[in-house]
Chain A
Amino acid sequence: MIDSGSVKQLAGHPFDRRDFLKVLGWSGAAVALSGCGNTSIEDGKETVVSYVEANDYMVPGIGVYYNSTCAQCDAGCSINGRVREGRVLKLEGNPDSAINKGKLCGLGQAGVQHHYNPDRVREPLLRNGNKGETISWDKAYALIAEKLSGVKGEEIAFLSGGVSGHLKALLGNYLDSLGTKNHFVYEAVAPGVVRAANVKAYGVEMPRYRFDKAQVVLSFGADFLGSWVSPVHFSQQYAQFRKGVNGQRGVLVQVESKMTLTGANADRWLAVKPGTEGVLALGIINALGIATGEVAELVKGYDRARVSSETGVAPGQIDKIAALLKLRSPSLVLAGSAAEGYAHGSQNAAAIHLLNQVLGNVGKTVEAPVSVPFPQMAPAKGNTAALKTLNDGLAAGKYKVLFNFAANPVFTAPGAFKFKDNLAKAGFKVAFAHYLDETALQADLVLPLDSAMEDWGTQVPEYMTEGAQINIQQPLMERLHANTRGMGDIVLTLIKQRRADEYKAFEDYYAYLRGAMLQNKGALGGGGVDDDTFWNETLTQGIVKLAGSTGTLTAHAAAAGLTLPAPAASDEQYPLHLIPGVTASLRDGRHTNQPWLQESPDPLTTIVWDSWVEVHPKKATELGIVEGDIVEVTSKTGSVKAQVYLFPGIHPEAISIPVGRGHDAMGRYAKGYGVNPFQIMDAVFDAATGELAMHETRVNIKKTGQRVLVVKDEGSAGALQMGRKIAARVSTDQVDLSKEV
């Protein structure tokens, strides 16, 4: 208990000027003391604003909660936002969603900083030389109409990130009214190759993975706990997998050249030579010895010795994995972004899928997906091949008008594309933007968007579980800035320029959305309910759950056409592979201006607010590099300089730089922090799909002579245990996997 005498001494004592100066004279820190006891500091100064009219449920200091959808990535987690005094304060997951079941990732949590961000664009801006001049929305719309008039459909291009729901349908109609088919859906980090390989192997782009039913998960570079497809959902299934079926805990084996968050959680982490994931998969099939027919024929050559020398994985390890997979069934084998990022990415993925099929997992842990019964709302999935087509078109000067929404290609296109230069050849560039990011800065007209917490919308996620769902996005609070607009409202206004009659019934996007939903009330599970009740319930729940239609899975991964290239010859000039690290919080860098994301330490290196180059300690010794050295990383395309972090979780023949940092625009929390590895990426493509091979860039590193203190959370000794034996360890060659599991 507090001694009240001393409390009073601190509390109410008036602080006179002499005391104050005396204290100030000693130290600036003491100024804090003068605050103690002076309560009621704002008496008569601060304004306290009340409501003009308030509903009964609006009580100052008491939160109200609204359901909506996380817009930080495409996974489609449902959120529940706490709103107090009309301000959204904190987001949680909506427990009713089958996708995230009440959980939310760190990136999702930072969604409020998307909304309150001080660097948002607030007014429509029209280029005047190097400046943007504020114009009215009416003028902006008139300008777009003017620029579009007389322009042929094929001279118009629309670049966007992944879109789905009613916005996708409306946008499709708008592009149709313009007579253009040039909708380029681009996501810098997307499983484009894996989708295509999935179609070949399973008959669907994205099957449902059942981690919870698997006894072993063998993942070839799929960072499903961090950034792959639907990480919050997978994390929950992973928890189930770890608890085990019948008390038998699942075993995770991760194969990759750069350790990801998932790799760090694995029971066994295997570093393969970059690009040899497919070889290892075939080697495992060979070691299993259960394949027959042409598959057996295919893998015949992939004996232990060859596979081991090509992949760098010890022969004993291959046997152990094969033994484990034989012992425990069903298992689940995944091909992730590390396997697909090569010129032979499709082949890698095909080999991995073949392993899945040989193991008999298709139909057990790989299930048919569900889809919404409204194909026009299904997601338009982004990939990188779309950017290539657009870039070629731009280079050829094909486009007179270019729209850009939810993509930042000037930042994320590989340096070899020279995208910025090509973009300049487009006639009139319109950017629908949240920030003045690198791409918006190149635009002629910038139109400010509402945040996800101010806007209406629907979203259909690519990856769904337990039935289909349509996610509802609704405003959690009023607009912060009077002159931002929702993307739906903008597209609706634009389409009215072309098809006024068809859309005149809809005053705004909200009316359009409500009308469209009510029209299909029956199919959406609202049969027999009156309109208002249905609509209010939909908004309250934030999710419309549908039975959905289940696709069919075909197991026809085949050996035919599967050829893996011989290991790449070593390159004298550029001996190292550059692996772009995709982190759970920054992803492709579209949210880097949210300071929480900059501030939360990378889970593996604990570095904050900066980029780093991961170098294997052995390689570093060879090159005479220590932690904190600034090195120059050079590829055929360009070079960047960044600090070195010695990381045992990377193959000695590779280095890794995380993507997402290194902005030279966007806002105060993004600009000038770190480097952008996209800039030095070569334009190499997967042969089968035309997707960008993100892991194919070769580099060399040189010391610059500068050295810095790496700002990170782990101890200065590189997380050494200082002889305290906090976690005991054994070297891998002394572990007997069969005893372990």
Chain B
Amino acid sequence: MYRFLRLPVLLVGFFMAASSYAASNSQPALTTEDALGPQVVQPIEFPHNRHAGLHDASDPTKGGMEINCQYCHTYARRSAVAGIPPLQKCIGCHQNIESVRNKSRIVELFKYWDAKKAVPWKKVHDLPDFVRFNHERHIKRFIEQQDRPVQEACGYCHGDVKEMTVARRQKPLAMGWCASCHEKDHPVVAEGGTPIAGQAYWYSFQKPAAAQDANTKARGPNDCWQCHK
């Protein structure tokens, strides 16, 4: 019989808890600022800067190689999840780069390869399971439709990776932060001069014009189910 009482008691408790929470927290801070994630120790200290960083004109042995993010992170434009490049990808290049073959990190890398074992990388960016973020859609929108530079587009969420060694989370990746971008009024004009806005734009029913009119605005998808499926 106590079973029947349990639900009302729970609901009352929940209500009070929720109201006490709301009452003492009237003005939360905005969450659009950068929020550094923890420094993650990886099995191999992968130098993003060396791979994706800018060339050093004065000394080609320093600086980066300006490799396109999508060369290694090839799944991002094909799938909702970006995945991690297969080990084969690393080896594909490194088996031909004798100059660094004896560096400790590369030796370590080849140990995994020879044992045919996956590198146990740690997750740097993780969303809760009730959020469905789609990499493919964002890449289509920014890189393919709008021709933004790859590093800029990836950087919206991942920060300036070309400056990092081991990647570290730069943004809060919380819902308020996502919304802060999705609600921005982006100036958009369709091909042929018609202003387009809202969903038609996002679902790419119409293509944006190359030259944009600053007065036409569009928003990112704003329905709950876009991310909470």
**Which chain A residues have a beta carbon within 8 Å of chain B's beta carbons?**
1-2, 4, 7-13, 19, 22-23, 26-30, 33, 35, 37, 39-54, 59-62
B100 CB contacts on chain A under 8 angstroms: none
CA–CA, A577 and B9, complex, Å: 48
- How far, in whole Å, are A41 and B18 apart by their CA atoms in the complex? 22
Report chain B residues within 8 Å CB of A50: 83-87, 118-119, 121
Write out the residue numbers on chain A whose beta carbons fall within 8 Å of the beta carbon of B12: 27
Judge whether B211 is part of the interface by a CB distance below 8 angstroms: no
Q: Is B88 an interface residue (CB 8 A)?
A: yes
B83 close to A43 (CB less than 8 A): no
By a CB distance below 8 angstroms, the chain A residues around B17 are 22-23, 26-27, 29-30, 33
Residues of A within 8 A of B41 (CB): 44
With A13-B29, A27-B14, A39-B173: A48-B79 Cβ-Cβ less than 8 Å: no
User: Are B224 and A9 in contact, with the CB atoms below 8 A?
Assistant: no
Docked complex Cα distance between A4 and B181 (Å): 11
Contacts of A13 on B, CB cut-off 8 Å? 25, 28-29, 31
Residues of A close to B131: CB separation below 8 A: 39
Which residues of B have CB within 8 Å of A8? Answer: 28, 30-31, 176, 179-180
Q: Would B86 and A54 count as touching, CB distance under 8 A?
A: yes
Interface string of B130-141 (1 = CB under 8 A from A): 010000000000
> CA of A595 to CA of B101 in the docked complex: distance in angstroms?
52
In the bound complex, CA of A446 to CA of B151 (Å)? 58
Ranked 5 nearest A-B pairs via Cβ: A27-B13, A12-B31, A11-B176, A60-B83, A30-B17
Does B124 belong to the interface (CB within 8 Å)?
Answer: yes
Q: Which of A47, A49, A50 has the most CB of B within 10 A?
A: A50
Asked if B59 lies at the interface with its beta carbon under 8 angstroms from chain A, I say no
Could you tell me the distance in whole angstroms from the C-beta of B72 to the nearest C-beta in chain A?
11
Residue of B nearest to A31 (CB): B17
A61 lies within 8 A of B81 (CB): yes
Decide if A59 touches B183 in the complex (CB within 8 Å): no
Are B122 and A48 in contact, with the CB atoms below 8 A?
yes
A/B interface sample: 17 pairs, CB < 8 A: A1-B223, A12-B30, A22-B24, A33-B18, A39-B128, A39-B131, A39-B175, A41-B126, A44-B122, A44-B123, A46-B126, A47-B120, A47-B122, A49-B120, A53-B86, A53-B87, A61-B79
Contact B87 A7, beta carbon cutoff 8 Å:
no
CB pair B40–A27 under 8 Å, yes or no, is no
Q: Residues of B with Cβ closer than 8 Å to A?
A: 10, 12-14, 16-18, 20-21, 24-25, 28-31, 35, 37-41, 75, 78-88, 112-113, 116-128, 131, 169, 172-177, 179-180, 183, 222-224
Secondary structure of the A contact surface, majority rule: loop
Q: Which of A7, A43, A52 contacts B86 (CB 8 A)?
A: A52
Q: Using known A-B contacts A8-B30, A29-B10, A40-B125, determine if residue A52 contacts B173 with beta carbons closer than 8 Å.
A: no
Q: Which single residue of chain B is at the shortest CB-CB distance from A33?
A: B21
Chain B interface helix/strand/loop/mixed: loop
A9–B174 Cα distance when bound, in Å, is 11
Assembled-state Cα–Cα distance A356/B28 (Å): 79
A12 touches B29 (CB 8 A): yes
Residues of B contacting A23 with CB < 8 Å?
17, 20-21
B113, B127, B174 — most chain A CB neighbours (10 Å): B174
A153 to B173, CA, bound (A): 70
What is the distance, in angstroms, from B210's C-beta to the closest C-beta of chain A? Answer: 30
Given known pairs A23-B20, A29-B17, A44-B37, the reply for A60 and B120 (CB within 8 Å) is no
Hey, which chain A residues are within 8 Å of B39, CB to CB?
A: 44
Answer whether A2 and B86 are a contact pair too, CB < 8 Å, given A13-B25, A26-B20, A48-B123: no
Q: Nearest residue in B to A34 (C-beta to C-beta)?
A: B21
A22 to chain B minimum Cβ distance, whole angstroms, is 6
Question: A59 to B83, Cβ gap below 8 A?
Answer: yes
Contacts of A41 in B (CB 8 A): 126, 128
Given contacts A4-B183, A33-B18, 11 further A-B contacts (CB under 8 A): A7-B179, A12-B175, A22-B20, A23-B21, A29-B13, A40-B127, A45-B122, A45-B123, A59-B79, A59-B83, A60-B75
Expressed in whole angstroms, the minimum distance between the Cβ of A245 and any Cβ of chain B is: 43
Indicate which residue in A11, A27, A47, A52 contacts B113 across the interface (CB closer than 8 Å).
Answer: A52
Do A2 and B179 form a contact, CB below 8 Å, given A29-B10, A43-B123?
Answer: yes
List, in ascending order, chain B residues with CB within 8 A of A26's CB.
13-14, 16-17, 20
In the bound assembly, the distance between CA atoms of A40 and B81 in angstroms comes to 15
CB atoms of B222 and A1 under 8 A apart: yes
Contacts A40-B125, A48-B122, A48-B123 given: A10-B85 contact, CB under 8 Å? no
Which residues of chain B come closer than 8 Å to A12, judged between CB atoms? 28-31, 35, 172, 174-177
Decide if B175 touches A10 in the complex (CB within 8 Å).
Answer: yes
CB-based nearest B residue for A62:
B79
* Interchain CB contact under 8 A, A27 and B16: yes
| A43 in contact with B125 given A13-B29, A53-B87 (CB within 8 Å) | yes
Looking at the assembled complex, report how far the CB atom of A518 sits from the nearest CB atom of chain B, in whole angstroms.
Answer: 30
A46 to chain B: which residues have CB within 8 Å? 122-123, 126
